[in-house]
Structure 1
Amino acid sequence: MTDNPRAPRTATSRRNMLFGTAAAGAALLAAGCTSNENNDDSKESAGADVADSKPGKKVTIGFAGPQADHGWLNAITTQAKNRAEKYQDVTLEATEGSNDNATQVGQIETLINKKVDVLVVLPADGKALTQVGLKAMRAGIPVVNLDRIFSSQQAYRCWIGGDNYGMGLNAGHYIGEQLKDKKNAKVVELAGIDSLELTQERTKGFDDALKNYPNIKKVARQAAEFTVESGQKKMSQLLQAQSSFDALWNHDDDQGVGAERAIKQAGRDEFLMVGGAGSKRVMQAIKDDDSVVKATVLYPPTMAASAIDLARALGQGKGIAGMAEYEIPAHVTLYSAVVTKKNVDEYLPIGFT
């Protein structure tokens, strides 16, 4: 680390900044490699050296994600590739997505051997891929960890992802506000894969929000598997078990396709439905306002485009526009906005198919 945070770094100092010892590495990732020394007036007026759209130092970014077998995951890959194409100074080396941990590790090791400048990784399993993240960091290749987080902060330079707890919280508050004047209101929840921490966080956020509305009770919950088939099956079970309720929160718009089929087959329309993630199909249904679907809570796949922006800034040794710091942040958590008929036109362009 140098006294002047904008001074060029040697290969050795770059490696030390990225990895270092356990204590030093955590400190650098949390605070960035900056110094309060030599902050004269000229630097304060000039501000940090930030990445912008103008061509700069050429950067090769390696991108590795899971298999795009789900609408949201496909959108992640598309967002990353489209963003990289907008920059004349970025070359994207993208792997073929895989849900097999060993295969994905091998793909990332290939990118490490190619000596890419920066890695963007959405691991199929964050815990299982932590070691390869550490390997990249030790090799002096900064890692932007996308969404599913590695189990060690030393395995990445920056994490960017969605707010699963906030997603549930905002869904719960939206439903609560719609039902706050209804006596003995009932809600049901169609969750995702229960073994995933993200599903548990979404449910916790939802339950915590409902605590603010004593007139509302969650009467049933089913866990699906983020697929159309599971959504239809589990929604059918909820409908059979509950003769009536006032609101449904479905964690995932892809499994919501099946849920909506089950709802139509049952001829039920006495409740409002809130989706999750932000598919274009659901946004259009909200706009048309001709079904039970009234809102969806975003889990924006645009995070992959932002990950490319962060990786490019890292590769060029720059900060981010709009922030005074010389380094990019260690963590970026995206907001889970609620899309309704009032604001759907604003969000339709980022809806995924």
Structure 2
Amino acid sequence: MATDTTRPSSPVMMPGLSRPRGPVPLADVAVLLHPDDEVAIAKEALLPRTVLQIATGDVRVSAMIPAGHKVALRDVAEGSPIRRYGQIIGFATRAVTAGQHVHSHNLAVGEGQLTLDYAFGEEYRPVEIVPEAERRTFMGYRRADGRVGTRNFVAVLASVNCSSSATRRVVEHFRDPAIMAAYPNVDGVIAFPTKGGCGAHYGSSDLGQLQRTMAGIVDHPNVAAYVILSLGCEVNQPTDMIETTSLGAHSNGHQPLVLTIQQDGGFAKTVEAGIAAVERLLPDANTAVREPIPASELIVALQCGGSDAWSGVTANPGLGLAADEIVRQGGTVVLGETTEAYGAEHLLTR
């Protein structure tokens, strides 16, 4: 089969794209995060031949730069570092010229090439904690054990993947606003399905981790009450999980309610029983009332979400400022998924 290898004399226009613009100030179409950066982030798709005006001279875009992607602002030799935020994000796997698209095809981590100055504690500054009398408050729920919640849910927990669809079916019943109108202090009925619960050895560390995680989900100040739905034959037996994690000790003296599909008449009847169980729990959950709570009671967990090119430009700095303020108010912030800080550890150790 013959292939037409001729190139059009002008760039092929893509839907939604205008013709190349230029010269145009860099700040109008891209974000330069630090003056030392070799790249800028395109605010919009940049067409070939677009001319970018920067302090060191014009840069002509030589390839399509999708929105959110990196455009080189100066030449980079093969093996040389490429910076964003003023920090090395990788090394050029081939020579890069100004105006080119910088991405995984010409940028790599460069295992072993990165040398960092960790400067342990050199920039440490004590946090200026706000005096207790001046701390801000939020409207939260004070639980009987002294813990504080920001929400007031009734939960339906699946002990195994096989009962997960049943938890969703139970919760669907309570999405009717007319039903929940009778419980204005309850923020909702929520399902906690799982993809696990089997495929682990009884008594293994993997099963133990799953059980601790599930227990932590429902033994939580945001959960006023809960029901556990089980298939019956799973490795993660609810009775074992309750005993192993001491869930029963945190249920106001009552053993957590467990419904079992294989023992309670099958899927449909277990869903009906689950709905009835939640209906019995809702009145008590509705007795909880929001009250002013010091911000020092807040515990905020941070985790990498659906990362894109703008996470580090918009969401992350905003969350960082919020985290700093929560700590100043005496609260707690947990930086989870620390593997996402790979290559930037030296910024955390300073």
TM-score by length of 2: 0.23
Larger helix proportion, structure 1 or 2?
A: 1
Greater Cα radius of gyration, structure 1 or 2? 2
TM-score by length of 1: 0.23
Structure ranking higher on relative contact order (CA contacts 8 Å, 6+ apart): 1
